[in-house]
Amino acid sequence: MAKSPKKSPYSHRHLLGIEGLSVQEISYLLEKSDEYVGQNRLSDKKVETLHGRTVINLFFEDSTRTRTSFELAGKRLSADVINMSVGSSSVNKGETLIDTASTLNAMHPDVLVVRAGLSGAVKLLAEKVNCAVINAGDGSHEHPTQALLDALTIQRRRGKLQGLKIAICGDILHSRVARSNIYLLVTMGAQVRLVAPMTLLPSGAENLGVEVFHDMKEGLKDCDIVMMLRLQNERMQGNYFPSIREYFHFFGLDYEKLSVAKPDALIMHPGPANRGVEIDSEVADDYSRSVIREQVEMGVAVRMACLDILSNNLQQELQEGAE
């Protein structure tokens, strides 16, 4: 039996997280994503790549931008896209999650895009289905396509990731975006710094290959990229910080704190931004510095690349199985 000559450099069935991916795998995902950026700027944005395939967006948690981004990505690749929003109240038990998964599995989807409120829930679901699964965010664990779109944004602006000083600021503790970004950027050789109050830093954060700061002006000094995180009030119970006023005073990004970063430092935010909480409106809307809109654009391209690669891998797996 001859091995398939077209084996892709990303050979996994699922995309559940960035942790553990190699430089080659990440580079390949970014390369493919970059190819789709141009296509998305054409007036005819549609290609036949996933014609006849079924993509189900299974969202156990509210989402507007990520779900829309995946939906557009699927449609531009000509897949049949179904959106399923399951209220979080009806899925409190692992049992129900698996029930949902096996029900959907019986409908023969090709890719399941899953967002779940609980860390690890997407991996559990992936173990129970025959299709490819993309993690669109699970609890405080990972959000791999967000990290890829952030990396693509940086790479297109700066031509590289290696050696850049990148500060990730704010609610690291609850952030899946932070975790995926840390894994990706550290793997790709960037110098990653975390800036947060002690209460919003997970324990052992300094063991992830990053530098930890508790003062914005120290953490942002000479940075190429300032990545702000959304304060996830909905995940907080109790005293992580005293008030929004105090949080903004010490950790909100304004021009004063930004002044210590490199003069051309880029400002990023995964959205939706809490204006006046983690970022000053003036800074968020300064399009000479802020690439927040560009991140959204890159998101669609990244998701098209992921759907394309995973569908292709699944196809090959089936062929190999048949041979």
Binding site for another protein (CB under 8 A): 197-199, 214, 238-243, 245-246, 249-250
Q: How far, in Å, CA of 61 to CA of 126, rounded?
A: 17
Within 10 angstroms of residue 121's Cβ, the number of other Cβ atoms is: 23
Are the C-beta atoms of residues 19 and 142 closer than 8 Å to each other? yes
3: DSSP letter: P
For another protein, which is the closer residue by CB, 120 or 276?
A: 276
For another protein, which is the closer residue by CB, 107 or 198?
A: 198
Q: What's the closest the beta carbon of residue 214 comes to another protein, in angstroms?
A: 4
Are the C-beta atoms of residues 230 and 196 closer than 8 Å to each other? no
Q: What's the closest the beta carbon of residue 19 comes to another protein, in angstroms?
A: 25
Q: What's the closest the beta carbon of residue 96 comes to another protein, in angstroms?
A: 30
Strands 111-116 and 54-59: parallel
Q: What's the closest the beta carbon of residue 208 comes to another protein, in angstroms?
A: 18
For another protein, which is the closer residue by CB, 170 or 270?
A: 170
Q: What's the closest the beta carbon of residue 108 comes to another protein, in angstroms?
A: 48
Are the C-beta atoms of residues 194 and 202 closer than 8 Å to each other? no
Find, among 114, 131, 130, the residue nearest to 122 by Cα: 114
For another protein, which is the closer residue by CB, 197 or 270?
A: 197
For another protein, which is the closer residue by CB, 64 or 239?
A: 239
For another protein, which is the closer residue by CB, 100 or 140?
A: 140
Q: How far is CA 80 from each of CA 10, 49, 54, rounded to the nearest angstrom?
A: 24, 12, 5
| Token pair listed for 142 | 């990972």
Q: What's the closest the beta carbon of residue 177 comes to another protein, in angstroms?
A: 21
Q: How far, in Å, CA of 50 to CA of 306, rounded?
A: 12
Q: What's the closest the beta carbon of residue 203 comes to another protein, in angstroms?
A: 9
Q: How far, in Å, CA of 37 to CA of 29, rounded?
A: 13
For another protein, which is the closer residue by CB, 219 or 270?
A: 219
Q: CA 50, 13, 318, 49: dihedral to nearest 10 degrees?
A: 10
Q: How far, in Å, CA of 184 to CA of 271, rounded?
A: 19
Q: Three-state SS for 211?
A: strand
Q: What's the closest the beta carbon of residue 199 comes to another protein, in angstroms?
A: 5
For another protein, which is the closer residue by CB, 77 or 277?
A: 277
How many helices (H) and strands (E) are present in the chain, helices listed first?
Answer: 11, 9
Helix (H) or strand (E) holding 165: strand 165-169
